[in-house]
Amino acid sequence: MADRLKISRRDFINGFALSVAAGSSLSPLELMAMAAKDGSTYPPGLTGLRGDHAGSFEVAHALSWQGATWPTPKSLTDDVYDLIVVGGGLSGLAAAFRYRQQVGKDARILVLDPHDDFGGHAKRNEFEVDGKHLIGYGGSQSIDTPGHYSPASSQILKDIGIETDRFYDYFDRSYFSDRKLGSGIYFSQEKYGADSVHRNVVRGFGQRESGPIADVVNAYPLPDEARKNLINLLTTETDYLSDKSRDEKIAFMKRISYTDYLRKHAGVAEEVVVMLRDTIKGLWGVGYDVLSALEGYRLGMPGTSGLGIGELEDEPPGRDEPYIFHFPDGNAGVARSIVRQLIPDAVPGSTMEDLVLSRVDYGLLDRQSNNTRIRLNSTVVNARHVEGDRFVDVVYVTDGQPQRVRGKHAIMACDNKIVPHICPEMSDSQAEAVNLATKIPLVYVSIAVRNWKAFENLGYQSFYIPQPKLMHSFGMDFPVTMGGYGFTQKSDEPTIIHGTYVPTAPDQGLNEREQHNQGRRDLYAKTFDDMERDVVRAMSGALEGGGFQADRDIAGLTINRWPHGYAYEYNELFDPHDWSPQNGPHLAGAARIGRISIANADASAYAYINGSFDAAIRAVNEQIAHG
C-alpha cells in the first residue's frame, strides 16, 4: 500500500490558483489574494494544509522572530472606528458583538484577522464526496459544560441564538452502542513488530469497557510481565501509597508525574507506562510524563482507584453535563452565529438549525456600508496611542502592503504572545507576565472517506495509538443530525473521520512549556506530504483488516495545523498550586493599556469558549468604563 496518495485536494481556491499558476508569474499567495478580492474564495471548502495556512503567519513571524518593521502609512485607509478588534476568533467576535450591544447597533467596528476565514481555531471543513455534502470541524470542537458558564457568557450564547438544550435532540447518544461499535487500540508495526488492533480497555476519564479485561490484555503485543502489570492495574484496587495519610498522598501526588508514580510506586513495566502515557494528549496537549499523579487520579487512570482519597475539595466542578453540545462544524457554528448577528446579510437564515447549511458570503464581510466589518488576510504589526490618549492607530499588512486604521478603542484578541510585539507601549513587566505562558500546538485532521465499512467490519468507532508517529487517535465524528444535515446512518455512505495529532517531546526531561515549544518547532518543519503519508499509514495499519484501502476509500484530506493552538492552562506539577484562572500572572498580562484592552483565551488561562467570552466581556467593559 502506497503511503502517498494522489488525493484530489483544493490547496488554494477550488483549483483556481493551481490551474492559473501554470501560465502565470504570480505566486500562489498573490493568486489567493486575487480570488479573495473578487469574492470567489470559500475557505471552508479548501483542503490540503489549513489552520495556520500559507499567508497567515509569515508577517507575524517576521515581526516576532526577525524584528521586521513596516512604515506607517501617512493616510488612513478608512474613517475612524469606534472599536478595532485584532483577531477574528471567538474572543474577538464576542468582543465586537458585546461592544455593539453595549454601545448600540450604529457603533462602527473593524475586526482584523490574518487568516482567510474567521473563527480563529473554530474552523469549518467541508467536502463533496460522491454527491454527498460533508461538514466537519478543523479546531475548537464543542461547547463544554455550558451550565458552568458565567451569567454574562451564558447570555452571549442566548443572544446569538444558541440554545444548548436543543442538542439533546440532535446528538444521538446511543449511535455507536446501537451499532456495537467500541473503542479500539492500534499497535503499529513500527513500534510493536506487527500491526494489530484490539479492544481498548484503558480509556481514562473513569471510563472502562465491560467484559473480560484479562482476555483482552493478554492479546496485546506486550511482554508477559507488562501484561500482568496492566491487568493488575485495571482489576485490583491496590493502595500504592499506603504509608501516607490522605493529605500526604494529595501533596505528594501533586509533585510527581503520573508516569513516575507508575514506575516508582506501582512498579509497572516501562511498556505499560509508555502505553498509558499519551492517552490524555487530546485533552491536555501533553502526556502523563508532565502531568501530576493527582491529575491521573482525577481522571480515573489505572492504579489510582485504591488510594482511598475520595473527592478532592479543590477540584473544579466536574462534567455533570454530557459532552454533546456540538454543531456538525464544531464551534465554527458558534463563530458563524456571532457573525450572523454582526453582518446578517453575510450569513443567511435566522436559527441555530438553519445555520448548519447556510453558506457564508465572504464578499459581504468587509462591505463599506457595514457598521461592523471583518477584514481577513490582514496581519496587525503595530498598535499605539496617537493624539495623546484620544485614539489608537493600528497598522496591518495585507497583500504585502501596510495599511493604517484608527479607532477610539482597540481590543487585542489575537495570540497573546504576539501582543508585546504589536503594542510597544506595553511595559516590560506586563510583557514578562504574558510570556510566562505558551500556546499548545496541535493538528486536527479531517479525512473524507467514501464509506466506513472497515470500522463496521472491525467493530470499532475510534482508535487510540500508543507511541504514534503522528496521529495519537482517530475515529468517526460526533453523531449530530440537525438543520437538514444528517450524520451518516449506513456504512456504505461517505463520512468524515477525525484525527488528532499533538506534537510533544516526552520523557526527555522537558517540562510542559518546553515540550510545547519543541512541538511547535517540529510541527513547522513538517510538510503536508509528511503528514499525509503518516495519516495514510496509520489508517491503513489500523483498518486494513476491515477491508480498508486508502487509495480507494480516502476522497479528501484537510490537515488543520495549529502551531499556536490552545491556551496554556496552569499545571500543578510545575506551576505554583495557587495559580488558576482566578489567580495567576495572566491577570497582570491582561491589564488594560489605556485605550487598548486584551481579550483572548490566553488572558483567561482557560482554553474553552467561556474563557474566550469572559475575556471579551472584561475587555469591552474596561474600554466602555475608560470612555
Output the domain CATH number for residue 511: 3.90.660
How many whole angstroms separate alpha carbon 376 and alpha carbon 343?
14
User: Of the candidates 590, 575, 293, 281, which has an alpha carbon nearest to the alpha carbon of residue 440?
Assistant: 281
Rounded mean pLDDT, 5-11: 41
- 18, pLDDT greater than 50: no
Whether 142 is in a domain gets the answer no
3-state secondary structure at position 271: helix
CA distances (Å), origin 534, targets 5, 87, 526, 528: 11, 32, 11, 10
- Domain of residue 397, residue span: 58-121+330-435+585-626
What is residue 316's predicted lDDT score, i.e. its pLDDT? 56
What is residue 187's predicted lDDT score, i.e. its pLDDT? 98
Q: Strands of 48-51's sheet, edge to edge?
A: 48-51, 554-566, 440-449, 495-501, 473-476, 460-464, 182-187, 196-199
Asked if residue 27 and residue 4 are part of one domain, the reply reads yes
pLDDT tens digit sequence for 203-230: 765 555 556 899 999 999 999 999 999 9
Q: Which residues of 189-224 are buried (b: 16+ CB within 10 A; e: fewer)?
A: eeebeebbbbbbbbbbeeeeeeeebbebbeebbbee
Domain containing 377 — which CATH number?
Answer: 3.50.50.60
Q: Look over the chain and give the mean of its residue pLDDT values, rounded to a whole number.
A: 92
Asked if residue 442 and residue 369 are part of one domain, the reply reads no
Asked if residue 442 and residue 555 are part of one domain, the reply reads yes
Q: What is the DSSP letter of 562?
A: E
- The x, y and z cell numbers of residue 88, run together, are 477574528
Whether 606 is in a domain gets the answer yes
3-state secondary structure at position 337: helix
Whether 212 is in a domain gets the answer no
Whether 192 is in a domain gets the answer yes
User: Of the candidates 594, 593, 576, which has an alpha carbon nearest to the alpha carbon of residue 585?
Assistant: 576
What is residue 208's predicted lDDT score, i.e. its pLDDT? 57
How many whole angstroms separate alpha carbon 76 and alpha carbon 577?
48
Rounded mean pLDDT, 45-58: 95
| Strand 124-129 relative to strand 132-137, pairing | antiparallel
Asked if residue 561 and residue 445 are part of one domain, the reply reads yes
Asked if residue 469 and residue 395 are part of one domain, the reply reads no
Confidence of residue 33 (pLDDT cuts 50, 70, 90): very low
- The residue out of 566, 595, 614 marking a domain boundary is 566
β-strand partners of 482: 485
How many whole angstroms separate alpha carbon 295 and alpha carbon 303?
12
pLDDT tens digit sequence for 329-355: 999 999 999 999 999 999 999 999 999
Beta strands in 190-242 (DSSP E): 196-199
Rounded mean pLDDT, 582-603: 97
Asked if residue 535 and residue 425 are part of one domain, the reply reads no
| Strand 81-86 relative to strand 109-112, pairing | parallel
Whether 112 is in a domain gets the answer yes
pLDDT tens digit sequence for 132-171: 999 999 999 999 999 999 999 999 999 999 999 999 999 9
What is residue 489's predicted lDDT score, i.e. its pLDDT? 98
β-strand partners of 382: 395
Whether 353 is in a domain gets the answer yes
Give the number of domains in the chain. Answer: 3
How many whole angstroms separate alpha carbon 437 and alpha carbon 414?
14
pLDDT tens digit sequence for 463-516: 999 999 999 999 999 999 999 999 999 999 999 999 999 999 999 999 999 999
Are 536 and 494 a contacting pair, CB within 8 Å? no
Asked if residue 497 and residue 385 are part of one domain, the reply reads no
Are 191 and 467 a contacting pair, CB within 8 Å? yes
**Cβ contacts of residue 121 below 8 Å, gap of 6+?**
51, 89, 139, 140, 562, 565, 566
What is residue 215's predicted lDDT score, i.e. its pLDDT? 93
What is residue 314's predicted lDDT score, i.e. its pLDDT? 65
User: Of the candidates 191, 188, 127, which has an alpha carbon nearest to the alpha carbon of residue 544?
Assistant: 188
What is residue 335's predicted lDDT score, i.e. its pLDDT? 98
Asked if residue 494 and residue 450 are part of one domain, the reply reads yes
User: Of the candidates 383, 424, 422, 440, which has an alpha carbon nearest to the alpha carbon of residue 406?
Assistant: 383
What is residue 14's predicted lDDT score, i.e. its pLDDT? 30
Asked if residue 420 and residue 447 are part of one domain, the reply reads no
- 627, pLDDT greater than 70: yes
Asked if residue 530 and residue 458 are part of one domain, the reply reads yes
3-state helix, strand, coil in the chain (%, to 5): 35, 20, 45
User: Of the candidates 46, 73, 32, which has an alpha carbon nearest to the alpha carbon of residue 401?
Assistant: 73
pTM of the complete model: 0.92
CA-based torsion, 208, 212, 217, 219: positive or negative? negative
Whether 399 is in a domain gets the answer yes
- The x, y and z cell numbers of residue 427, run together, are 511595559
Asked if residue 455 and residue 544 are part of one domain, the reply reads yes
**Which residue matches cell numbers 484620544?**
390
What is residue 543's predicted lDDT score, i.e. its pLDDT? 98
Whether 468 is in a domain gets the answer yes
What is residue 205's predicted lDDT score, i.e. its pLDDT? 54
Burial class (CB in 10 A: 0-12, 13-18, 19+), 578: exposed
Asked if residue 470 and residue 417 are part of one domain, the reply reads no
